[in-house]
Structure 1
Amino acid sequence: MCRSSAVARTALETSLDKLGLDAADLYLIHQPFGDYYGAWRAMEKAADEGLARAIGVSNFDPARLTDLALNARIVPAVDQVECHPFFQQGPALDAMRELGVQIQAWGPFAEGQHGIFTHPVLTQIGEKHGATAAQVALRWNIQRGVVVLPKSVNAERIQANIDVWGFELDDDDMAAIAALDKGRSEIIDHYAAATARMLNGMAIHD
């Protein structure tokens, strides 16, 4: 957690040193806890100095994102949030579009929950388009204007995650997937006091 602007600056410099880079293409605040306003001011300065080509946030809900965007000198380029067929983030997507912030999806496969890779709705849609359930989940987010960040260490699956441009979901497909939304995360509760305590107990850089 960033508890001061100095910590945020140190974190960026440490990251650049470890990566052997002069600048980061994109640098994010991970959570809206602690002194994230101080961290954001430090990141704005880093952007001014060319140490980060773009700056953004992660896990900011619509209220926190809007508050920051309306009071910051630089509006976040992106907000990286959990976003998949079972937690579709409609209000967050609307807020980001209004603010001109790009939504990025972490966990676009719901960390494997709800049998996403064999889910009957996604599988049936995939069969219609010659695609897998995973490819349908990615294509659905892409068609909503969401940048997806799928994770895999398997070369075949990485290639499959890239090969989602040869088909397009129709209105019926999109409506069927929309019906899967549970409207909440089942991975982490960002509104729980226990979550705030846990995240404030973490330190990436001293």
Structure 2
Amino acid sequence: MKYTTLNDNAIMPTLGIGTYRIRPTDAERSVEHALKNGYRLIDTANIYLNEKAVGRAIKKSGIDRSEIFLTSKIWPTEYKYAKAKQAIEDTLNRLGVDYIDLMLLHQPVGDYLGAWRAMEEAVKTGKIKSIGLSNFIGLELDKVLAEGPIKPAVVQVECHPYFQQKELKAKLAKGNIALEAWYPLGSADKDLLAEPIFAELASKYNKSVVQIILHWHVQTGNIVIPGSKNPTHIDSNLDIFDFELSSADLEQIAQLDKDKRFLNLPKWMHRLFLLARLNYDKQV
């Protein structure tokens, strides 16, 4: 495993397991397997409805809590200051932990500045170690950067070889803010995975196409959280730290950038807001 030092001096693994769209039973099994086989970064969220399952997996793994970097996210319906404070407490209770390593605001809508103040306060009390943002890339990101004494340590966004986020990464670099990639494989897009350069590099380095792409993320400075409920895939995703892509390899991959998203965030947010009335405490 490789680690990166965030701008608040926290040490974060550069590869972890994501739990988006994974049901509680599967999430529990996947996270437990991942932890027992070398993973130390876990990504979940209120809206995923699997925080309780992730908490159970952490306990069952036998791994000391101090060795695990645990991320969760607050959904926009909890963004007002007082509601965000309660959401943090609720997340701690669902996960069954005393602190969260990284808490993110999930979407750039609503009273996100009020929620940001609540997270800053939780950092001061030790309930959260680091804070950051998910899907904040424009004006909303600028407002948070200008808002409070604590700057984001991580910004989590869609990022993959077809959507490399070069402009955003340059902006984040000015504040030593880490970029964390969701959809790191472009939602397993067939065209992306079939790009000839990846087959060529897979043969060159005796790796799979997926391993080449995940390694590209880490080597270019991204933190990456591929999700899976398949133990073989989970193990394979971790086996990416024993080779280095050449500068020529990196240049060829850089040429694949098409500024192509695989998730339309505005429509996605509107659809998910229909689910926002869910009672998180009814998780299993």
TM-score by length of 2: 0.67
Determine the structure 1 residue equivalent to 2:103.
Answer: 27
Q: 1:156 is matched by which residue type in structure 2?
A: T
Determine the structure 1 residue equivalent to 2:124.
Answer: 48
CA distance, structure 2, for counterparts of residue 19 and residue 199 of structure 1: 22
Residue pair 2:163, 2:258 contacting (<8 A) in 1 also = yes
* Structure 1 segment 43-122 matched on structure 2, within 5 A: 43-122=119-198
Query: Offset of 1:115 from its aligned partner?
Result: 3.7
Determine the structure 2 residue equivalent to 1:179.
Answer: 255
The number of residues matched between the two structures is 203
CA distance, structure 1, for counterparts of residue 275 and residue 131 of structure 2: 22
Residue pair 2:113, 2:147 contacting (<8 A) in 1 also = no
* Cα distance, 1:33–1:202 mapped onto 2, change above 3 Å: farther
Determine the structure 1 residue equivalent to 2:3.
Answer: none
* Structure 1 segment 86-165 matched on structure 2, within 5 A: 86-165=162-241
Residue pair 1:116, 1:134 contacting (<8 A) in 2 also = no
What whole-Å deviation, never above 9, does each CA across 1:96-138 have from its counterpart, x for those lacking one?
Answer: 1111211111111111114444432211111111111101111
* Cα distance, 1:179–1:114 mapped onto 2, change above 3 Å: farther
* Cα distance, 1:3–1:24 mapped onto 2, change above 3 Å: closer
Q: 2:156 is matched by which residue type in structure 1?
A: Q
Q: 2:229 is matched by which residue type in structure 1?
A: V
Q: Secondary structure at the match of 1:153?
A: coil
Query: Offset of 1:200 from its aligned partner?
Result: 4.8
Unaligned 5+ segments in structure 1 are none
* Cα distance, 1:141–1:77 mapped onto 2, change above 3 Å: same
Please say if 1:6 is aligned against 2:82.
Answer: yes
Determine the structure 2 residue equivalent to 1:170.
Answer: 246
CA distance, structure 2, for counterparts of residue 95 and residue 114 of structure 1: 30
Query: Offset of 1:205 from its aligned partner?
Result: 6.0
* Cα distance, 1:23–1:150 mapped onto 2, change above 3 Å: same
CA distance, structure 2, for counterparts of residue 8 and residue 45 of structure 1: 11
What whole-Å deviation, never above 9, does each CA across 1:44-96 have from its counterpart, x for those lacking one?
Answer: 11111111011111111044323311222100110011111111000111111
Higher share of residues assigned strand = 2
Question: 94-103 or 113-122: which moved more?
Answer: 113-122
Q: 2:132 is matched by which residue type in structure 1?
A: G
TM-score by length of 1: 0.90
CA distance, structure 1, for counterparts of residue 137 and residue 190 of structure 2: 23
Q: 1:119 is matched by which residue type in structure 2?
A: E
Identity %: 36
Residue pair 1:24, 1:52 contacting (<8 A) in 2 also = yes
